[in-house]
Amino acid sequence: MKHAYGSAPEEKAREQLKVLAYAKLNLVLRIVGKREDGYHLLQSLFCAVDLADEIQLEPLPRGIELWSSVELGPPEKNLAYRAAQTLLSQTDFGVRIVLKKRIPAGAGLGGGSADAAAVLAGLNTLYNLGKTPDELAKIGAKLGADVPFFLGRSPAWVEGIGDRVTPVDLALPAAFLLVIPAFSCPTAAVYQTLDRLGIPPSPPQGVPKIPPFVNDLWPASAHLRPELERIRSVLEGIPSLGVGMSGSGSSLFLAFPSVEEAEWARAELSGRVEAALHVARPVDRGYKIIG
């Protein structure tokens, strides 16, 4: 497979397709057990929000190219590249993927999984491959536990190791203020810290009401990155529907009943926390084909 990094080439393919890959928030995340193979069992309420990576898919006669920033690492390890490789492996099609990243890596927002889902859905449309949503979800699950969520409706109740996804009808806050520190919280390190702290699992429950925005990984993430405690203490002084952490961090969020209140909070927090601030709204699916 061919791959490349850098700016998108000037020549335009005759046909192309653009897809938005949306970020996700874990509005609730409970650790309810651990399998013998070491995987933790969870229950989590996932919500897609409109902070998005932009992906452009351009047909090629063969091979796969990934155009993005060098900081993302080797192309063959990128989930967007691997998604195209997996889906097109039994076809004669190729594709150039132009990836514009806006979802920070290592922030608990699911950017890599979102990119993979958007590529699967986009290529299915671009080449009229005829894959059903269930078939795409099965392919996505082989790439990452979170990928099937991004291919379906939001919000969703996610269980097991992230492989059981059930869309739910639930009233959501109108807006969130995402608070994204410059540092990351590697998922593996957070789970290892959770085990070392000896925190017992939560009892399994049904879909919860929100707020509160419970996250069983918070003690481990805050132990690993004490800066999170300082940021959260500032956030808790802002009037809101509640404070939460997405995934294993490092992103925190505040929930609001209106976009205007979220924008007010962003202005209020500007310069008070060392983090990027983004106002985001819930969306009803993990990706959107925009033409």
13's CB contacts (< 8 A; 6+ apart) are 58, 59, 60, 96
Q: Which of 24, 53, 115, 216 is catalytic?
A: 24
Structural contact between residues 150 and 114, judged by C-beta atoms closer than 8 angstroms: yes
Active-site residue identified among 53, 101, 115, 146: 146
The answer to whether 290 and 16 have CB atoms below 8 angstroms apart is no
Residue 262: CATH number of its domain:
3.30.70.890
In a domain, 11, yes or no: no
Same domain? For 223 and 125 the reply is no
Report yes or no on 9 lying in a domain. Answer: no
Q: Is 24 a catalytic residue?
A: yes
User: Is residue 288 flagged as an active site residue?
Assistant: no
In a domain, 4, yes or no: no
Alpha-carbon radius of gyration of the chain: 19
Three-state DSSP string of 62-95: CCEEEECCHHHCCHHHCHHHHHHHHHHCCCCCEE
Q: Mind listing the pLDDT tens digit of every residue in the chain (291 residues)?
A: 444 444 344 334 348 999 999 999 999 999 999 999 988 999 999 999 999 999 999 999 999 999 998 777 888 999 999 999 999 999 999 999 999 999 999 999 999 999 999 999 999 999 999 999 999 999 999 999 999 999 999 999 999 998 899 999 999 999 999 999 999 999 999 999 999 999 999 999 999 999 999 999 999 999 999 999 999 999 999 999 999 999 999 999 999 999 999 999 999 999 999 999 999 999 999 999 998
| Boundaries of domain holding 236 | 175-280
Separation in Å, CA 191 to CA 87, 106, 141: 31, 14, 20
- CATH number of 138's domain: 3.30.230.10
Residues in the chain: 291
